[in-house]
Amino acid sequence: MSTFQAPKGTYDLTPPRSAKFLAVREAISAPLRDSGYGYIETPGFENVELFARGVGESTDIVTKEMYTLTTKGGDQLALRPEGTASVLRAALEANLHKAGNLPVKLWYSGSYYRYERPQAGRYRHFSQVGAEAIGTEDPALDAELIILADQAYRSLGLRQFRILLNSLGDKECRPVYREALQSFLRDLDLDEETRRRIEINPLRVLDDKRADVQKQLTDAPKLRDYLCDACKAYHEEVRALLTAAGVAFEDDEKLVRGLDYYTRTTFEFVHDGLGSQSAVGGGGRYDGLSEMIGGPELPSVGWALGVDRTVLALEAEGVELDLPATTSVYAVPLGEEARRVLFGVVTELRRAGIAADFAFGGRGLKGAMKSANRSGARYTLVAGERDLAEGVVQLKDMESGEQSAVPLAEAAAELAKRLG
């Protein structure tokens, strides 16, 4: 322990558990990379205004959860609380949408920051892998993203997750619904803050977690009854494509995103083993966002999956990931001369692509063999004065316990052969 600890609401990823995070990032991004999504990386902070506009002034993220700062030069910045606004900003800045190749399909992976009340599955620093498909309105694109997330979770061995699906309508039908909802909500018995929300962001009220609020919402007008024909047809097509792909989903008409530039398809992935922080990922269509941040009309769809909660979900289900062994060969030198020789063999193995490690620090045989065991290596190489005099090393198979002397010059080749 040093004088310092990780800041409140954060935690360190340390071995061996950190390997799961790498595996989750890899598993989520693999289907994207195989489906035409290119990797994008943006700064960890942006102009605060980008998020105010691109996430929404009336959202919790912007009003309560953002880490903002003023630089010494006087710039107002915020640590990124989410990825979509930054990715769209970057795509517009690089003119990716002008290459005549729509949709622009991008994926990202990184750290995000929200000033939240820390609890299990809810942190102030967390990690997401996300995907955005920019510039095309096509139900197959919405379906593609949901199918790829489903594929990613399944490839990890997750089973107890569910996909919730809804349509939020568009700029034709949503305003009509919004008004109907507002006049319904105004008659309810609600606190001041919620009353204010009715005026700025009424759909968000549907999302209220409190039981006394939910009780009053039973007869709220339903968006489904207000969808225009174009939105209905679009949504039916997304549903049909998912069904044809064998991806199960649940219609959830309470699933909302409060802002006007979120349109049509919206979805969330929930896991039943996580208690109240059950959302492992979410996304949807954001046809108006580009214009909100000063860009051209670019209908788009995307999602972000939480890496931290995905790892918790794996642990809740008791899924053991098939993690690649980190070390295949562990070398144990006995004496100065053996140290030089075996270090050379280890270097040779590594250059041949074989994962190898070494007992550093001139420890005795017993301690070094313990480390060899802990490393999970399939083979150990041991050499002392006498072995070197005979020009051999002792090669031990840690699974069978069998040990044999192998000519030093052939050790690397022999290991390569045995490890296939």
- Site for ligand ATP, rule CB under 6 A: 82, 114, 116, 121-123, 126, 128, 277, 279-282, 304, 306, 308-309
Looking at beta carbons only, is 264 or 339 nearer to ligand ATP? 264
List the structure tokens of 4.
């310092």
Kindly tell me which of 205 and 388 has the beta carbon lying closer to ligand ATP.
Answer: 205
State the nearest-atom distance from the C-beta of 320 to ligand ATP, in Å: 22
Cβ atoms 112, 80 nearer than 8 A: yes
Q: Which of 177, 105, 89, 167 is nearest to 141 (CA)?
A: 105
Minimum separation from the CB atom of position 304 to ligand ATP (A): 4
Enumerate residues 6+ apart whose C-beta is below 8 A from 231: 167, 169, 170, 172, 173, 264
The answer to whether 163 and 267 are in contact (CB under 8 A) is: yes
CB of 112 to ligand ATP, least distance (A): 7
What is the helix (H) or strand (E) element at residue 187, kind and residue range?
none
- Least distance in Å: CB of 63 to ligand ATP? 13
Measured CA to CA, the distance from residue 7 to residue 84 in angstroms comes to: 26
Six token digits for residue 130: 């996300």
Q: Which is nearer to ligand ATP, 114 or 204 (CB)?
A: 114
Q: DSSP for 338-362?
A: HHHHHHHHHHHHHHTT--EEE-TT-
Q: CB–CB of 116/98 below 8 Å?
A: no
Q: Residue 124 in contact with residue 8, Cβ under 8 Å? A: yes
The distance of closest approach from Cβ of residue 308 to ligand ATP in the complex, given in angstroms and rounded to an integer, is 5
| CA pair distance 349, 280, nearest whole angstrom | 40
Indicate the residue among 114 and 378 with the shorter CB distance to ligand ATP: 114
The CB-of-220 to ligand ATP minimum distance in angstroms stands at 20
Phi and psi dihedrals of 377, rounded to 5? -65, 145
CB of 267 to ligand ATP, least distance (A): 10
Task: Give the nearer residue to ligand ATP in terms of CB position, either 122 or 162.
Answer: 122
The nearest distance, CB 79 to ligand ATP, in angstroms, is 13
In angstroms, rounded to a whole number, what is the distance separating the alpha carbons of residues 259 and 223? 14
> CB-wise, 234 or 262, nearer to ligand ATP?
262
Cβ-based nearer residue to ligand ATP, 280 or 338: 280
Closest separation in Å from C-beta 198 to ligand ATP: 20
Nearer to ligand ATP, 72 or 209 (CB): 209
Nearer to ligand ATP, 103 or 258 (CB): 258
Contact 73, 105 (CB under 8 A): no
Q: 343 — phi, psi (to 5°)?
A: -60, -40
Main-chain dihedrals φ then ψ at residue 401, nearest 5 degrees = 85, -5
Residue 397: name the closest of 379, 415, 377, 416 by CA: 379
Sign of the torsion angle spanned by Cα atoms 95, 98, 99, 104: positive
Instruction: Return the residue nearest ligand ATP (CB atom).
Output: 306
Q: Which residue has the tokens 């996580």?
A: 274
